[in-house]
Structure 1
Amino acid sequence: MVVTPAGLRFAGRMFPCTVGRGGVSDAKREGDGATPRGTHRIVGMLYRPDRMARPTNWAVPIRPGDLWSDDGGHEDYNQMVRAPYPYSHEALRRADPLYDLVILTDWNWPYAVPGRGSAIFMHRWRRPLFPTEGCIGLRPRDLAWIAPRIRFETRLIVR
C-alpha cells in the first residue's frame, strides 16, 4: 500500500484517502495531527462484531471497554488497554462508525517513545477528504475491500 497526494495504491488499484490535518511529517509528535512519512508494517486488525462480519481470521473484536492509551507518561502508551483506565486514552468502541474496522500499523510500536505519537490506524473517513488526527482515512467500502486482502508482508508506505 502506498499513500501519496493522489490517494492510496493497493493491489493495482487507487483509492481516495485522507491523511492527518497536519499533513505528512518526517517528525511526527503526539497531538500534531500529522501522518508519519515512511514504511509501516501492518500489525493487526480490529473490528466491531456487532456491526460487521469478521473481515479476516486474524481480526480481533473490539469489546466494550477497549481503549487505546495516548498518555506518553504511562507505561501503556500506544497500547490497547481496558477500562477503567484513569490515564489519557481514546475509546475504540465508539457510538459512530469511525472505528468499526481498524487496521493497526507499527508506528511507534511495540516500544513506544513518549511524545513520538500513538496509534496510526487505517480506518473509515468521517466524510470525503476530511482530514484525520494523523491516521489514514478511507471510504468504508474501500476499507472493507482492502482488509481481507492484507497479508503478513503488506506494508503501508506514506510518501
Structure 2
Amino acid sequence: MMEDVLTELIVVPANDNPTRGVLKAGDREFPCALGKKGLALAKREGDHKTPIGQFPLRSVFYRYDKLSKPIYTRVPMLAILKEDGWCDDPRDAAYNQPVMLPYHARAERLWREDDLYDVLVVLGHNDNPVRPGEGSAIFLHVARQKGRDDFEGTEGCVALRKEDLLELLPALSPETTLKVISH
C-alpha cells in the first residue's frame, strides 16, 4: 500500500514491445499497457498512440456499483453515471470534454460493460486549450488483460491492472503528473 503523496508518475515503454511499458511510482513499478501503435510526439485522434509528454491529473471517475469498498484519493472524484460520455468528435464544440448521452456528436460511453473504466483518471492532455483532432479521452484506466501480465494495447491511454490502479489512488493529488517518455 502506498502512503506518501507522489509528485510524478513516469511511464517508460518496454524495449521489446511498443504496446507495453512500466509505470514508475516512487520506488514501485507496475506493468502497463500503452497504445496499440506505441507512442506519439504529435498525437492525432484515432491514431492508437499514447502521447509523449507530462500531463496533470484532472479527475477520477469510478463505477460505484462495481467497487466493493470506498476508494480514497486527493484528486477530485466523480461517480460514473449511465449517461456519462466523453466527446471524441473533433468537429464538435465539446471535443475532449465530458458530455451526457445521448449526445448529438460522436462520444465514448464511460459506463461500460467491461471493467476498463471501473476506475479512470482523466489526464490533462489536449485540454488547455483543446485543439481539434489532437487527441481526446486520454486516461489512466484499467487494462484489458489476456493474462496476469499480458495486456492488450489501448486506443491511446495508459492502462494498469485494476488492483494496481486502486493501490496508486491514495498517493495521487492534483499536483501529481503522469510523464510518458520514450527511450
**Which band: TM-score by shorter chain?**
over 0.9
Quote the offset at 1:12 in angstroms: 1.4
RMSD of the alignment, in Å? Answer: 1.2
Number of the residue aligned with 1:18: 33
3-state SS, counterpart of residue 16 of structure 1: strand
1:141 partnered with 2:163: yes
Larger Rg belongs to: 2
Displacement of 1:125 in angstroms is 0.6
Task: Name the aligned partner's letter for residue 13 of structure 2.
Answer: P
1:106 to 124, 141, 163: 124
Amino acid at match of 2:73: T
> Please, which of 32, 42, 48 is the counterpart of residue 27 of structure 1?
42
For 2:134 and 2:24, the matched residues in 1 are separated by 26
* TM-score, with structure 2 as normaliser: 0.83
Q: Which moved more, 1:47-56 or 1:77-86?
A: 47-56
**In 2, Cα distance between equivalents of 1:153 and 1:86:** 34
Gaps (5+ residues) in structure 1?
none
Give 1:110 deviation, angstroms.
3.8
Look up the SS of the partner of 2:151 in the other structure.
coil
Q: 1:2-151, aligned counterparts within 5 Å? A: 2-6=10-14, 7-52=22-67, 53-56=70-73, 58-127=76-145, 128-151=150-173
Q: CA deviation at 1:47?
A: 0.3
The CA distance in 2 between the partners of 1:54 and 1:71, in whole Å, is 32
Aligned length: 159
- Return the letter of the residue paired with 2:72: P
Structure-1-length-normalised TM-score: 0.96
Give the SS at the match of 1:137: strand
